[in-house]
Amino acid sequence: ADSTLKIMQSLYEKHKVLTYPRTSSRFISEDILPKLSERVNNLKEVPVYKDLATQIQDNNLKFSSRIVNDKKITDHHAIIPTEKKPSLNAFSEEERLIYDLVIKRFLAAYFGDCVKNHTEIITEIAGHPFRSVGTILVEKGWRTAYSADDSKEQSDDIILPAVLKDD
């Protein structure tokens, strides 16, 4: 935790690409909302975030209202990118990794809920019950921001066929 905070402090003080890091808040205030489109636009100039930022702007996606709450902010709002355009080449490897976590979480807030269908089948064979479970991703939602990161998890999902009782 101490190392992460030092890296975040560097991204705040030295690079000036993230807001104040010494906060535990997960919310932003209403007055920051108008400034967010400029910050998304800046991320379009960073190749690794270009597709997500473009998708947000092209589809006119709105920042999640569940993260906007003036009443839940104490001293500082959640950590988000600043208006400064980032230069990833100037970051250390650790700074790049931490910055990536913050930016993906920020961009994910523009996408809706992740919707999955969960299936459970109880099969009885020779008097013994067997339980099978499976998941089908219906809407990626916020997972869109993490699509490269969760490709292994998606490939591990077990898809069960549609069945009816007594099949």
Structural tokens at position 97: 């990794």
Q: Which residue has the tokens 């500082």?
A: 76
For residues 134 and 15, what is the distance between their CA atoms, to the nearest angstrom?
A: 45
99 counts as catalytic: no
Integer Cα distance of 29 and 23 in angstroms? 14
The Cα 165–Cα 167 span in angstroms is 6
Rounded distance, CA 40 to CA 82, Å?
Answer: 10
Tokens coding 56 = 């947000």
* Cα 68 to Cα 39: distance, rounded to the nearest angstrom: 16
Of these residues, 12, 20, 49, 110, which one is catalytic? Answer: 20
The distance from CA 10 to its chain's CA centroid, rounded to whole angstroms, is: 22
Q: What are phi and psi of 91, to 5 degrees?
A: -90, 150
Could you list the active site residues?
20
